[in-house]
Chain A
Amino acid sequence: MTAVRVDSMRIVTLIGKYGFLALGGFLTLLPFYWMAGGSLMTTQEITSRPMDWYPHTPKWNNYEALAEAIPVARMYLNSAIVTASVLVGILFTSSLAGYGFAKFRFPGRDKLFLMVLATMMVPFFVVLIPVLYIVRTFGWVDSYMGLIVPNLVTAFGIFLMRQNMLSIPDELIDAARIDGSSEFGTYWRIVVPLVRPALGALSVITFVFTWNSFLWPLVVLRSRDLFTVPIGLNLLQQYFATEEAIPLQLAGATLSSVPVIAVFAFLQRYFVQGLALTGIKG
């Protein structure tokens, strides 16, 4: 008797558990389905009653129409240039500074590191106007430089690298020095390979956030030639706001999400590790 009751209890719990996860998963994925599905529909199909759940004949030329409305290839190129530059910059500056803070002793070190942590607390909107002014002073408004240079360092990156490098044994570094390795050589050949997983995590996070970055490019850019993917999409949303343009907008949204979702799907382990690190020690 009891065994039967326990079993039916367990079945109810199981159904509840998977039911909740599945319902949540359905609600989470539905907008993605609609984004991709709608990008292949006609406007009539998108708004028809009773509703069409799928495009009856996929309209691939929505994508051709998209490419005619906005310079899609150019937007991808711009986003790729900016993201790659920022990525290289952040990996380099973060690992260099992280090494300096983790493995060297110099006057003011702890105060400087505290300053790094403090800037992590400052919201971007506080510094937005002054940074724009500085960028203008350098003549970098509406240029790659303006998009890239202010983003070459993040306090989070320095913090992440330092935490990871603290656990590298000093003996290993001293041994390299005794073997006649230069300081930079030690960093490059001993330290960097040891923190490769953390660099991977930082790369994936930086990639996703830079690729999706919106407010800063919105403020810095003027000419369409330099528009990154999100800014170009925003243009599409603003100037092609008719019902007929809905499939076009969805096609743009789909296209813009492909790179980040691909990177995330293949490297999700790194991404999850990196974000989890922000929670555990932060």
Chain B
Amino acid sequence: MLLGDRLKVRYAQRHVVTGYLFVAPALAFLLLFGVFPIVFAFGISLHNWNMVTPVSEMRFAGADNYSHLILDDSLFRKSLGNTFVFTAANVLIGLGLALSVALLVNTRVKGRTFWRVVYFLPYVTSSVAVAIVWENLYHPFGLLNRLLSLGGIPSQRFLASVDQALPSIIGVSIWHGMGYLVIIFVAGLQNIPLEYYEAAKVDGAGDWSRFRHITMPLLKPTLFFVAVVSTIGSLQIFDLPFLITEGGPIDATETVVLYLYDTAFTFARMGRASAMSFILFVIILVLTIIQIRLFRERE
């Protein structure tokens, strides 16, 4: 072997080791706190366990946790229903509003940064602060009811009402999350080359036709991304119902992750809680795959 080649081989070998060294710290943490726990959680879901007894004494339960949740647990079904309603409303209304705002902010509008900051503020505010303020706004004598009374509308019960509690939480959630969606939409809109619009203008295309034939098709990847991320996030809703209504009144705002939290940390049923987490995880994966299919078909 030539000296140059030998040096090259040694150089390459050294690089292999250095490469491993650079990724090692992050991967070690990721394995311990990200990968191994998934396997562990699946194992727990097949057992009855309260986290206090040693792992070696976990009682094997087979698929009991899963079959109980799916067949016998009406609260789990209720929480699934609520989570789906929440997700559908949160995603559809949130996307619609955010896209409208993004389209406006992206036109020639005065104070673009100002609007962006305004719409973004809720997103950086902690859910606890958000919960405190909105609980107060929805209060029987709160600001919203007093605003309604200015318009002659009778007081609403909002969070105390079985029918209005979930829509009220959805309202808070849309307000809280819209800034992120606006930012992503604006970034997507700014990726569309201006020349396309100019060319369409020369050809005599109006506002609507430019929106339909240029903006929408080119924004589709962004729309897809936002739909998927927003669906995944919405299905995991926990903070707001936990803080504002604790799932009530009469389970009207009970969501899957809220039920999971109570099952694990109030009733110490780790097996059942883990089974719940996998059912929801599978639902998330299936919905994501369906969304990917839908967007592909329309290409």
Q: Which chain A residues have a beta carbon within 8 Å of chain B's beta carbons?
A: 17-18, 20-21, 24-25, 27-32, 34-35, 38, 46-47, 49-51, 92-94, 96-97, 99-101, 104-107, 109, 112, 115-116, 119, 121-134, 136, 150, 152-153, 155, 158, 183, 187, 208, 211-212, 214-215, 219, 229-230, 233-234, 237, 246, 249-250, 252-254, 256-257, 260-261, 263-265, 268, 271-272, 275-276, 278-280, 282
Instruction: State whether A268 and B120 are in contact (beta carbons under 8 Å apart), knowing that A20-B104, A279-B188 are contacts in the complex.
Output: yes
The proximity string for B residues 235-264 relative to A, scoring 1 for CB distances below 8 Å and 0 otherwise, is: 010110001000000000000010011001
Interface residues on B, range: 35 or more
Cross-chain contact A155 with B22 (CB below 8 angstroms): no
19 extra A-B contacts, CB within 8 A, seeds A100-B20, A155-B30? A18-B109, A28-B119, A29-B118, A35-B129, A101-B23, A112-B23, A122-B38, A126-B41, A130-B41, A150-B33, A153-B30, A237-B128, A237-B131, A250-B133, A256-B128, A261-B121, A263-B124, A276-B183, A276-B184
Cross-chain contact A129 with B264 (CB below 8 angstroms): yes
Which residue of chain A has the shortest Cβ distance to B33 in the bound complex? A150
Q: Which of B62-70, B195-203, B272-280 contacts A (4 or more CB under 8 A)?
A: B272-280
Which residue of chain A has the shortest Cβ distance to B30 in the bound complex? A153
Instruction: State whether A129 and B274 are in contact (beta carbons under 8 Å apart), knowing that A237-B131, A250-B133, A264-B124 are contacts in the complex.
Output: yes
Cross-chain contact B122 with A17 (CB below 8 angstroms): no
Cross-chain contact A279 with B121 (CB below 8 angstroms): no
Q: Which residues of B contact A276 (CB under 8 A)?
A: 183-184, 186-187
Q: Within the assembled complex, what's the spacing in Å between the Cα atoms of A256 and B132? A: 11
B59 adjacent to chain A (CB < 8 Å): no
Q: Within the assembled complex, what's the spacing in Å between the Cα atoms of A219 and B270? A: 14
Instruction: State whether A106 and B260 are in contact (beta carbons under 8 Å apart), knowing that A153-B26, A237-B132 are contacts in the complex.
Output: no
The SS class assigned to the A binding surface is helix
Q: Within the assembled complex, what's the spacing in Å between the Cα atoms of A92 and B29? A: 13
Contact among B41, B97, B115, B135 with A127 in the assembled complex (CB-CB below 8 Å) = B41
Cross-chain contact B23 with A105 (CB below 8 angstroms): no
Chain B's nearest CB lies how many Å from the CB of A47?
Answer: 4
Q: Which residues of A contact B33 (CB under 8 A)?
A: 127, 131, 134, 150, 153
B205 adjacent to chain A (CB < 8 Å): no
Q: Can you identify 13 A-B contacts, CB atoms within 8 angstroms? A: A21-B109, A21-B115, A24-B101, A35-B129, A107-B16, A115-B35, A123-B277, A125-B277, A130-B36, A211-B126, A230-B129, A233-B132, A252-B132
Which residue of chain A has the shortest Cβ distance to B20 in the bound complex? A106
Contact among A30, A121, A130 with B37 in the assembled complex (CB-CB below 8 Å) = A130
B56 adjacent to chain A (CB < 8 Å): no
Cross-chain contact A106 with B133 (CB below 8 angstroms): no
Chain A's nearest CB lies how many Å from the CB of B289?
Answer: 12
The SS class assigned to the B binding surface is helix
B136 adjacent to chain A (CB < 8 Å): yes
Which residue of chain B has the shortest Cβ distance to A38 in the bound complex? B136
Instruction: State whether A133 and B40 are in contact (beta carbons under 8 Å apart), knowing that A122-B34, A246-B136, A253-B129 are contacts in the complex.
Output: yes
Cross-chain contact B187 with A123 (CB below 8 angstroms): no
Q: Which residues of A contact B129 (CB under 8 A)?
A: 35, 230, 233, 252-254, 256-257
Instruction: State whether A265 and B41 are in contact (beta carbons under 8 Å apart), knowing that A237-B131, A253-B129 are contacts in the complex.
Output: no
Q: Within the assembled complex, what's the spacing in Å between the Cα atoms of A219 and B251? A: 22
Q: Within the assembled complex, what's the spacing in Å between the Cα atoms of A65 and B71? A: 51
Q: Which residues of A contact B104 (CB under 8 A)?
A: 17, 20-21
Q: Which residues of A contact B113 (CB under 8 A)?
A: 268
B281 adjacent to chain A (CB < 8 Å): yes
Contact among A24, A104, A116, A278 with B30 in the assembled complex (CB-CB below 8 Å) = A116
Cross-chain contact B280 with A35 (CB below 8 angstroms): no
Q: Which residues of A contact B278 (CB under 8 A)?
A: 126
Q: Which residues of A contact B188 (CB under 8 A)?
A: 279-280
Q: Which residues of A contact B44 (CB under 8 A)?
A: 129-130
B134 adjacent to chain A (CB < 8 Å): yes
Q: Which residues of A contact B281 (CB under 8 A)?
A: 122-123, 126
B265 adjacent to chain A (CB < 8 Å): yes
Contact among A92, A129, A260, A275 with B125 in the assembled complex (CB-CB below 8 Å) = A260
Q: Which residues of B contact A275 (CB under 8 A)?
A: 180, 183-184
Q: Which residues of A contact B229 (CB under 8 A)?
A: 278
Q: Which residues of B contact A230 (CB under 8 A)?
A: 126-129
Q: Within the assembled complex, what's the spacing in Å between the Cα atoms of A198 and B108? A: 28
B60 adjacent to chain A (CB < 8 Å): no
Q: Within the assembled complex, what's the spacing in Å between the Cα atoms of A96 and B20? A: 10
Chain B's nearest CB lies how many Å from the CB of A198?
Answer: 15
Q: Which of B84-92, B141-149, B161-169 contacts A (4 or more CB under 8 A)?
A: B141-149
Q: Within the assembled complex, what's the spacing in Å between the Cα atoms of A252 and B136? A: 13
Cross-chain contact B136 with A278 (CB below 8 angstroms): no
Cross-chain contact A97 with B280 (CB below 8 angstroms): no
Q: Within the assembled complex, what's the spacing in Å between the Cα atoms of A73 and B274? A: 37
Cross-chain contact A127 with B37 (CB below 8 angstroms): yes
Which residue of chain B has the shortest Cβ distance to A107 in the bound complex? B16
Most buried by A among B23, B37, B149, B278: B23
Q: Which residues of A contact B21 (CB under 8 A)?
A: 100, 183
Cross-chain contact B277 with A126 (CB below 8 angstroms): yes
